[in-house]
A and B are shown apart, each in its own frame.
Chain A
């Protein structure tokens, strides 16, 4: 049991929670502005691939991070153009975004590294002490610049949404786009701006995922974008609570890794891998019904 209550466990939980959290905060930004965004998964994946490809080419994880954010913003804005200007159904656009990201990253793997499964290894950020003790691991996780940016995003989001003029506009566009438009808010522009923020933060999570593994693997987002979406729903579209939900998921997954060797010997075996997905289903099934959803989610200011 000592392995469960330890610094190692804490470090693992935080490390695993970062991509979930980034995607969830991205989801909060998009959906509070009233845009259904199920393409978080694709943005995570694209962010991860871009980060690795650019880091591999330039040997600079910082450039990789910048490129990943740019890619995330571009995809998110593409989704916004389709849903807000061309009025394509947001779910269809999101499905297409996910399929596109999966296919395009696999094509990129073939094109750049002639591999169907993964990229070559990269040198990502390395700060903090070396060593295998729990304390050293925790310090390494906390000293990661990507973690720091993610933390900043979590802290800044509620403030920006609740206390600034821009945040008020985002919420107005999300709660009632018709009313927002009638008082002179440029709903489409506000939504696109919120989507840019959403894409940037979500791609951050993708970069963290890739830097953590020190390489890109085909389909490595593994449903995290959707689990993050579940976190957004159960949090009632609130950033702080969504981040806490993601931390809970991270803890659960870390627990699974610790228990994995023990469980593998039993009949459950590899089914232990399904723990995050089963937990998501249970949480969604037991959580109260759609509390706190933005009223104008998926609605437009004018036909």
Chain B
């Protein structure tokens, strides 16, 4: 058991070590002493309470988008459309929040805004979902197309539909705003971390538990595990695929809680951009466990904040390069770890199934390893 845990952790440790090495190389290439760049990165993140607050703030949307990618992945789907799902949901959520009466109390206003955002996120995800379920079109191409369409809809909505000159909504109603965390942790003062963070952490744990234990969650995983067998058992595979994708879009949309609701108090064009992509890295690093997703989101939040801290000397884009490299590193490392363990114990990771067909690997496991 202990050995198994070591094996699960090893890829992450290797990937992080490799990540630090690559960051040093990049810093060196930009003519910085790696040690001083690293120190700068640390001081801007975990070195001060403010930096830590900013890390949590940066991690919050990634918790939602990471969970969103994971939910779809369990069904064997790659939801790379979180970027567009979150953007349109943020716009509509922000608009609704700004139209609510100022006197509406939080227990009513906040659920209204979050539910609206989730519905819009699911709606955006519906296009790739229905094309995949009914027409068998791969969701990756369609999700990118939808992302680009949303990219054009946003400015068009502001200028043509709303006729406004600025690319932002009006301020949201006070009842829809999530308070900052410095209300309870005074030393976070000035940082943008809000109650969206605990909300996100709870969402990840609840979401992952439902995925493991609820009927729908199990069926989604079975469909990702072996669609043909499910079809033979009479499970409506297409319906589960559709649901998984819609859920994924709705969850990604909840990231609006940390941006428009918890931080700015309004939505403006580009707010929260990039969270959809980083969510993919979070899910890959999180290894399908709630704790893993939370840690991965905090780690990538640290990278983002560290990028800002070193930006004057090493471009913050270096952190995005690092993120992409980490996805690959952790995938390779886990593959190597799995191979090593199989050789050591001389048995497969699971009891051998009848060999009339290739051994089934859950789509999510295959993608991760």
Find B317's partner among A106, A280, A285 (CB 8 Å cutoff): A106
Contacts of B280 in A (CB 8 A): 95, 99
Find B78's partner among A91, A100, A226 (CB 8 Å cutoff): A91
In the assembly, what is the distance between CA of A100 and CA of B26, in Å?
A: 14
Q: How near does chain A come to B268, taking the closest CB pair, in angstroms? A: 18
Which of A14-22, A62-70, A201-209, A266-274 makes up part of the contact surface? A266-274
In the assembly, what is the distance between CA of A265 and CA of B113, in Å?
A: 34
In the assembly, what is the distance between CA of A290 and CA of B135, in Å?
A: 9
B102 CB-CB contact with A under 8 Å: no
> Could you tell me which residues of chain B, from 140 to 154, have a CB within 8 Å of some CB in chain A?
140-142, 144-149, 152-153
A156 CB-CB contact with B under 8 Å: no
**Is the Cβ of B149 less than 8 Å from the Cβ of A100?**
no
Find B149's partner among A87, A92, A99, A274 (CB 8 Å cutoff): A274
Task: Pick the most buried of B29, B153, B318: most chain A CB atoms within 10 A of its CB.
Answer: B318
B321-346 CB mask vs A (1 if < 8 Å, else 0) is 10111011001100110000000000
B18 CB-CB contact with A under 8 Å: no
A278 CB-CB contact with B under 8 Å: yes
- Interface size of B by CB at 8 A reads 49
**Is the Cβ of B145 less than 8 Å from the Cβ of A93?**
no
In the assembly, what is the distance between CA of A151 and CA of B281, in Å?
A: 38
Query: Chain B residue with minimal CB distance to A102?
Result: B320
**Is the Cβ of A277 less than 8 Å from the Cβ of B148?**
yes
B35 CB-CB contact with A under 8 Å: no
Q: How near does chain A come to B21, taking the closest CB pair, in angstroms? A: 16
Contacts of B155 in A (CB 8 A): 270
Task: Pick the most buried of A88, A93, A227: most chain B CB atoms within 10 A of its CB.
Answer: A88
In the assembly, what is the distance between CA of A230 and CA of B149, in Å?
A: 16
In the assembly, what is the distance between CA of A273 and CA of B149, in Å?
A: 8
**Is the Cβ of A93 less than 8 Å from the Cβ of B148?**
no
**Is the Cβ of A271 less than 8 Å from the Cβ of B153?**
yes
B156 CB-CB contact with A under 8 Å: yes
Find A95's partner among B80, B131, B146 (CB 8 Å cutoff): B80
Query: Chain A residue with minimal CB distance to B69?
Result: A95
Interface residues of A (CB under 8 A from B): 38, 41, 82, 86-89, 91-93, 95-97, 99-100, 102-104, 106-107, 110-111, 222-223, 226-227, 229-230, 233, 267, 269-271, 273-274, 277-278, 280-281, 284-285, 289-290, 303
Interface residues of B (CB under 8 A from A): 26, 29-30, 78, 80, 127, 131, 135-138, 140-142, 144-149, 152-153, 155-156, 159-160, 277, 280-281, 284, 315, 317-318, 320-321, 323-325, 327-328, 331-332, 335-336, 359, 366-369
19 residue pairs of the A-B complex, CB under 8 angstroms, read A82-B331, A91-B140, A96-B328, A99-B320, A99-B327, A103-B323, A104-B321, A106-B315, A110-B315, A226-B140, A267-B160, A270-B152, A271-B152, A274-B153, A278-B145, A278-B149, A281-B142, A284-B137, A303-B359
